[in-house]
Amino acid sequence: MKQRSRRKKTLIAALVGLLCTGVAAGSGATAAPEPDSQGSAGKDPLWNMADRIVDRVEEPAIPDQRFRVTDYGAVGDGRTDDHDAIMAAVRAADESGGGRVVLPEGTWLSEGPIHLESKIDLHVEAGARLLFGSDPADYLPVVHTRWEGTEMYGYSPLIYAQDVHDVSITGTGVIDGNEASEFLSWHAKQDEDMQKLRRMGFDGEPLEKRRFGEGHFLRPSMIQFFGAERVLLSDYTVTNSPFWINHLVYTDHATVRNLTVDSHNANNDGVDVDSSTNVLVEKNTFRTGDDAVVVKSGRDKDGRDIGRPSERVVVRNNDMGGEDGIALGSEMSGDIRYVFFDDNTLRSGASAIRFKGNLDRGGTVEHIRVRDFRVEEFDTLIWFQLDYPGELGGDFPPVYRDLVFEDFTVDSATTTLEVHGPEDVPLRNVTLRDVSVAESETPMVLENVEDLTFDDVTIAGQRIDGDLDWRRGEP
3-state secondary structure 82-137: CHHHHHHHHHHHHHCCCEEEEECCEEEEECCCEECCCCEEEEECCCEEEEECCCHH
What does the pLDDT read at residue 35? Answer: 52
CA atoms of 229 and 5, how far apart (whole Å)? 48
Q: Whole-prediction pTM value?
A: 0.93
Please give the domain boundaries of the chain with CATH numbers for all domains.
1-36+301-475 (2.160.20.10), 61-290 (2.160.20.10)
Q: pLDDT value at position 473?
A: 58
SS (H, E, C) the chain: CCCCCHHHHHHHHHHHHHHHCCCCCCCCCCCCCCCCCCCCCCCCCHHHHHHHHHHHCCCCCCCCCEEEHHHHCCCCEEEEECHHHHHHHHHHHHHCCCEEEEECCEEEEECCCEECCCCEEEEECCCEEEEECCCHHHHCCCEEEEECCEEEEECCCCEEEEEEEEEEEECCCEEECCCCCHHHHHHHHCHHHHHHHHHHHHHCCCHHHCEECCCCCCCCCCEEEEEEEEEEEECCEEECCCCCCEEEEEEEEEEEECCEEEECCCCCCCEEEECCEEEEEECCEEEECCCCEEEECECHHHHHHHCCCEEEEEEECCEEECCEEEEECCCECCCEEEEEEEEEEEEEEEEEEEEEEECCCCCEEEEEEEEEEEEEEEEEEEEEEEEECCCCCCCCCCEEEEEEEEEEEEEEEEEEEEEECCCCCCEEEEEEEEEEEEECCEEEEEECEEEEEEEEEEECCEEEEEEEEECCCCC
CA–CA separation, 430 vs 432, rounded Å?
7
User: Which residue ranges of the chain lie beneath pLDDT 70?
Assistant: 1-42, 473-475
**What pLDDT score was predicted for residue 324?**
87
- Under 8 Å between Cβ of 61 and 49: no
Task: Specify the pLDDT at position 30.
Answer: 37
Q: Strand 336-358 relative to strand 128-132: parallel, antiparallel, unpaired?
A: unpaired
β-strands 99-103, 237-239: how paired?
Answer: unpaired
The pLDDT, as a whole number, for residue 47 is: 96
